[in-house]
A = this chain, B = another copy of it.
Amino acid sequence: MLADSGPQQSGFLVSRMAHGSEPSRGDTMNAPIDLLPRIARRPMPAAMLAALKAHFGERCSTAQAIREQHGRDESPFDVPAPDAVVFATSNDDVVALVALAQSHGVPVIPFGIGSSLEGHLLAVQGGVSVDLSRMNQVLRVNAEDLTVTVQAGVTRKQLNEALRHDGLFFPIDPGADATLGGMCATRASGTNAVRYGTMRENVLGLTVVTANGELIHTGSRARKSSAGYDLTRLFVGSEGTLGVITEITLKLYPLPEAVSAAVCHFPTIDAAVRSTIQVIQMGVPIARCELLDVHAVRAVNAHDHLGLREAPMLLMEFHGSPAGVQEQAETVQALTTDLGGEDFQWATTPEERTRLWTARHHAYFSALQTRPGCRAVTTDTCVPISRLAECINETVAEADASGIPYFIVGHVGDGNFHVGYLIDPTAPGERAEAERLNQLLVARALRLEGTCTGEHGIGLHKMGFLLDEAGAGGVALMRQIKHALDPGNIMNPGKIFTW
C-alpha cells in the first residue's frame, strides 16, 4: 500500500456499475466521470436521525465538515458525504446503531482512519458513517500465546507501541497507520507479508455486529480449527459489506533476535526483479523485499536527503538469529551480485533502518512532490513471482511510451507492485490515459494468473476488474452471500459488486 498521501477531493472516473448496469470486460475505466452524483441516495428518515441524536447525543454529528471528512478516503473520487457520523465507543453502540439502521433501511459505513484507496468509504447511497477510532483499546495481550485482542479502532503503530515491552510485534505494515479494523476489512498486507503473511493469515478471530444488529464471535484463540465455515476469513476482506468488525484477535510474533536491512542497486529494473525472483525461489525467508524504481529513488532522495544512487533499488530486511540473518544476507548478496547488483549496503543500526523504511513509506508522498499540483492514480496488481519481470517490464514500456510521469514501488517478494501515475488533474487526457494504462496492466496481470488487487481491495474502483477476475459465477456467489447476510443492503452498499 502507498502511504501517507493527503486526501484528494475532486471528481474522477468511476465504472458503470456505480449506477446500476452490469459492466462487461474491459469497459470499466473508459466511461467518463461524474457518475457518483447520479447514484440514488436513500433518504435519511427524520425518525432515524432523531433516534440517533437521542441515543448518541453529541457523539452523533451532522456537521458538514465532519460528514465530508467521513465520506472520503485516499481514493481520487468526489466525496459523497454520509448524512450523519456516529462515534462509537463500545460494541453496544454499534449494535444499537445497526439495529436502528436496519429498522429504517439506512446504510451503515464503517470508518477507521480513512486511509483506504479505492473509494470504500464514500457514502454513495447516503447513510451513517460509524467512526470506530474511539474504540481504540488494546483489550488483552496474551504474550505466552502470541495473541492479542484489540478493538477495531486500534492502529498498527499504536499496537506495536503497546507490545514493545513484551518483546513482541505485529508485522503487517501497509504503510499508512491504518486501524486494524480497516486492515481486516481490506485484507491488508504490505512490506512484511512476504515473511509473515497478510491479514488473511494473521487474524484468529473477530467480534462482528452483523447486518441484523447481532453481536457474533468468530474463531477462537487456538492457532487452527476445523469448526464449521471460516466466518473469520469471510469477514476479512469484506470491506464493511457484511457487518461491522468491532474486535480482532491477532497472531503476534517474538521480536527477532537480530534484524538487518540492506539496499542494493541494479543497472535495470529487470535485474532487480530477477534477483527477487531468485531469492523467493530459493526459499530464503526474507522479511521484506521492496522494489523502488529510479523515479521513486529520485523522489525519496529529494524528500528525505538519502543520497541513494539513482538507479533501481531493492530494499531488504532479514529477521532471525544473528547467525541466521547473516546466512540469509550472504545468500542474497551472492545472488544479487551474480545478477548485476551493485553497492550492496548494510543498515544494521535501528536508526539507519528506520531512516530507510521511513523513506520507503514516504515514497508516495515524495513522488507527489516531484510534480507540483499532480495527483497519483495508483495500481495494485499481484502476479505469480515467475511472471513478475514480464509484468513489470511491459508496464514500464507502456508507461514510458505514454509520457506521463510515474514511479513504481512494490512488495516484489509477493509479486505485488504499485505504479503511481502522476497526472495533472486539470488535464482530462492524462486521467483517461492513466486509467487506460491501469486497465492494460490489470488485463496483463489476469492473463499472467494474478489478481487485480494484492492488498487495496475492490471498493468502487475495481468492481469491473473483479468481474473479469472472479467471473460472473464467482461474483454471483459473492452476491448471494451478501443478499443472505444483509437482505436490506444496509452494510456499505454499492461496494465490491452491484446489488
Contact = CB atoms under 8 A, between A and B. Distances in A.
Contact of A471 (B217, B229, B414): B217
Nearest to A321: B327
A12 to B, nearest CB: 20
Contacts of A382: 222-225
B224 A455 contact: yes
Q: How many copies does the complex hold?
A: 2
Interface string A203-243: 00000001000111110111111111111011011100000
A51 interface: no
A456 interface: yes
A397 interface: no
A224 B237 contact: no
Contacts of A451: 220, 222, 224-227
Given A233-B233, A254-B283, 10 more contacts: A142-B386, A145-B384, A224-B451, A227-B466, A229-B237, A229-B238, A231-B470, A323-B324, A480-B484, A481-B485
Interface residues of A, number: 88
Contact of A227 (B321, B323, B469): B469
Contact of A216 (B189, B254, B386, B474): B474
Nearest to A277: B144
A389 B433 CA distance: 62
Interface stretch (A28-36, A193-201, A422-430): A193-201
Contacts of A218: 470, 474
Contact of A449 (B221, B280, B471, B496): B221
Contacts of A415: 222-223
12 contacts: A144-B281, A193-B224, A220-B446, A221-B449, A227-B451, A228-B458, A228-B466, A229-B237, A229-B481, A254-B283, A323-B324, A477-B485
A1 B165 CA distance: 38
Nearest to A185: B226
Interface in A324-372: 324, 327
B478 A481 contact: no
Interface in A231-265: 231, 233-234, 236-238, 253-254
A458 B382 CA distance: 35
